[in-house]
Structure 1
Amino acid sequence: MVASFSANPKDRALPSNDPSALYTGGAFLPDPSETENNRRAVQMLGIGSEGMLTLALLYLRPTSRGSIKLQNNDPLKIVLADEGFLSNPKDMEAVKNIYKIYVKNIAAELAAIDPSYQLVSPTLDVSLAPLI
C-alpha cells in the first residue's frame, strides 16, 4: 500500500553526498482499529524523490494466508505461490482503516506544515470512503 504526496520542490529528499540514499524516515504504528495500541501493526516508510513523497504502509499482522507448492523435484523450477494477500476480509478492513485514519491525519499534518504537501494518491475521497 502506498500514499503519494506532492512535495515542496525546494525540499531535497536525498542527501547530495549520498545518491544511493532512498528512505527519508519511518515509523511503527499500532492498528488504528484496535483498542490495544501497544502492539505494532503498521510499518510506515517515507520514500522521497524529486517533488514527491511516497509513504509505503505495510500491515504487519495479517490473518490472510497463502501457500507455496513445489511443481516437481527440479530445484531450479519456480515454485507455485499464492500469496493470499487480503483474502481474509479482516485484513481488508484493517487496510481501509490505515488509510482512513493514518493517511488522512498525515495529509492534514503535512499540509499544515507546508501547503505544498498534498495527497495525490489515493485522493481523500477514496481514502475516506465508507468501509465496506
Structure 2
Amino acid sequence: MIELLHGRPTLPDLFGWVEAGHPGTHGVPGLHAIRVEEHLTDEAYVLRAELPGLDPARDVEITVEGGLLTLRAERAAELTEKHRTEFRYGTFARCVRLPAGAKGDKATAVYQDGVLTITVPVPRAKSGTTTIPVRHG
C-alpha cells in the first residue's frame, strides 16, 4: 500500500510499488527483481546489475539460452549485534532478451563494488551491399 504525505506518495513506498510491479500483476512468491541498467554500444550489449553484499562466485548464476540472458542471485546474510539480530535473505532474478546477433557464449562478467557488469559481444551488422571485383579476361 502506498502511504500518502500531504496527498503525495512517499518516495520509498513509491519505489517499492514500482519494483513490485503494476497492480494486478503477479510475481513468483519469494522471488525479487534485480535493479539493472542496460545499454547497447556499437560492439556490445552491456547490463549492469545492483547486487551489493554478495559473493559472486557463490551467490550469482548467469545463463544464456535461446537469446535470453538470465541472472539469478541468492542472498543469505545475518548481522548480530549486542542486543539485536538482523537478517536479509531472498532469491533475486532478472531475465532480458539479448539483441539479434548477440554472442552469448562470448559473454563476460565482472563484479566490483556491489555492481555486476555483464558484457555480451554484438557484431556489427554487415552492409547488405556486396562489391564484386571484375577481372580482366
Which structure features the higher share of strand residues? Answer: 2
Using structure 1 for the length normalisation, give the TM-score. Answer: 0.25
Using structure 2 for the length normalisation, give the TM-score. Answer: 0.25
Larger Rg: 2
